[in-house]
């Protein structure tokens, strides 16, 4: 069942975000609860606020992304999209996190 994110309350969005983070292997509890000027890491509240903003503005473009496979049916393309990496900005910060930074 599709749900319009703008119809959800802040608490419902937070629950959705926390569940998606857990599924992705991200522990929100690892973020500080108070600002840390040394690292500049966002607080848990800042992460949730940023994710709420993102969900309310961007997911349609991401959710409709499918790989271009001319010979695949729509359902095959959907299954294939679940196995491929989603589109990321280049250069992606995820490369640095994964220690896959290209040096040229």
Under-70 pLDDT residues of the chain: 1-2, 58-104
* pLDDT, position 15: 93
Runs of H (alpha helix) within 1-104: 10-23, 44-57, 59-63, 74-83, 93-97
* Whole-number Å distance between alpha carbons of 5 and 51: 12
* pLDDT, position 60: 63
Structure tokens at 91: 């250069």
* pLDDT, position 43: 94
């Amino acid at each position: 069942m599709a749900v319009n994110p703008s119809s959800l309350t802040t608490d419902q969005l937070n629950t959705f975000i926390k569940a998606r983070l857990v599924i992705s292997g991200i522990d929100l509890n690892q973020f500080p609860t108070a600002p840390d000027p040394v690292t500049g890491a966002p607080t848990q509240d800042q992460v949730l606020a940023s994710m709420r903003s993102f969900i309310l503005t961007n997911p349609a473009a991401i959710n409709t992304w499918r790989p271009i496979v001319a010979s695949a049916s729509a359902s095959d393309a959907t299954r294939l999209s679940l196995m491929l990496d989603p589109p990321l900005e280049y250069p992606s910060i995820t490369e640095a996190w994964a220690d896959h930074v290209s040096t040229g």
